[in-house]
Every structure is written in structure tokens, then in C-alpha cells.
Amino acid sequence: MTKPLVAILSGAGISTDSGIPDYRGPNGLWRKDPEAEKLVTYDYYMGDPEIRRRSWQMRRANGALDAEPNAAHVAVAELERSGVPVRVITQNVDGLHQLAGMPARKVLELHGTARQVVCTTCQVRGPMEDALRRVEAGEPDPPCLSCGGVLKPATVMFGERLDPVVLGQAAAISKACQIFVAVGTTLQVQPAADLAGVAADHGARLVVVNADPTPYDDRADEVIREPIGTALPELLHRIPAFGRP
């Protein structure tokens, strides 16, 4: 039996059990505090030192780097270790898929990573932990140590373009996979949401695992509304049954 290529598109919902809040849900950060969106909007961030200072304090306080993978992340990594070809396309910046054991080369981070910082002038990268230590030591807006430029998290902020290479790789995987699982994502943010349609157009079995309805539910072969921490492991355990002789 040939093992199917499984593509997993993960959104914020897969990480809420790890203590990382979503952004657009009923209790999401942007709904609770619309002003917070400015802290991750490129033009505001680059143009206002006070926004940058608040942004650094937000990152220092939210403890995201201390989050641990949950059962859903672990199930994805276990499926990959079982020999099933798995590729993760994630809208998240938390790095929890890799911490759970997914090889980094098999994870495409559409929106970058919050575990690194990048200089907006010379593009040098470094660990977010180092930058946060500098903030804790009294630097409210730590500049790049190489050139003095403005540091930002290595995430795609509002107003920035997604990396076209990463997006192209994600599209190629979506076209090639036999099973496409969209988990914890509203499938409303483009261009990531389009990947579900691309997969379905190319004959993949489309499964949506999300608490709320998505625009792609009517195209899905299966829609699961159960809690992700239990529903995704159960679904992934069934994956070998979808294999093709």
C-alpha cells in the first residue's frame, strides 16, 4: 500500500491548548484590544519608537517562548515518524511543530517565526531570547548589534508580504498531496486559505478540523468540530486507512 502524502495546514487553534491565544476568535487578542494590532503592523512599528517599546514589553510578558507542544502537535510529529510522508504548512509563528519533533525542513512557516529576530537594515538574525534578555536588562528598544538598525521579530507583520518562495513551496505541496488537513484555522486569511481549495482542486481528500464553520466546509470530505487536542490525534491515527493500493 502506497502511503499518501499528508499536508497539514495549521492555524492558531492548534496552539490554544498550549496557552497561546488566538487572534481573531471570539476571545482573540485583536477583538479584546484592537490597539494591540498596531504592535504587529510594520508601518506603525517602524515609524513609532513607542510602539516598538510596547511591542517588546508585550513579547516579554506573553511568555510564548515558554509554551510547550500539546497533543495535537505531538500527533502530527508521530505520524511523520511512523513513515507517512507529512508536510506542515503553518500560519503560526510559535515553532511548536518543531519542538514536538517535526523536522524543520518539513515545516513551512508562512508567517515566519517568533523565536528569532531580524534586523530591518542588514537582515542579520538572532535568537528572540537574546533580544528579550536585553530588554529585561534595560534596553527598551534594542537595536541590531551588527549595524544599529531596528530589530523586529522574524515574523510577517501586517503590511509585509509573505515570502514568495515559502508560499510557492506550500502551493506545490497542496497540489501534490493526497490528504489535506486544515486544523485550527478559519480559512479566511489569504493566501493561506486558498491552499485548501488548491488541494481539493487537485484531488486531495480535504478534512477541516475547526471549532467554527469555514468557507471551505462545503468542499470538505470531512468536517470535524470536536476539540483539536483529541480530534486531531484520532483523525491522524486513521490516516493509514486512506492509503491507496
Its sign, for the CA torsion 133, 139, 141, 145, is negative
Q: Tell me if 166 sits within 8 A of 173, measured CB to CB.
A: no
111 in active site? yes
DSSP string across 59-123: HHHH-GGG----HHHHHHHHHHHTT--EEEEES--S-HHHHTT--GGGEEETTEEEEEEEETTT-
**Closest by alpha carbon to 169, among 101, 84, 88, 76?**
88
Q: Tell me if 135 sits within 8 A of 56, measured CB to CB.
A: yes
At 10, which helix (H) or strand (E)? strand 6-10
At 117, which helix (H) or strand (E)? strand 112-119
| Residue ranges of E strands in 62-109 | 86-90, 107-109
Q: Which three cell numbers stand for residue 195?
A: 491552499
Distance CA 245, CA 239 (A): 14
Catalytic residue, candidates 73, 97, 111, 237: 111
Active site residues: 111
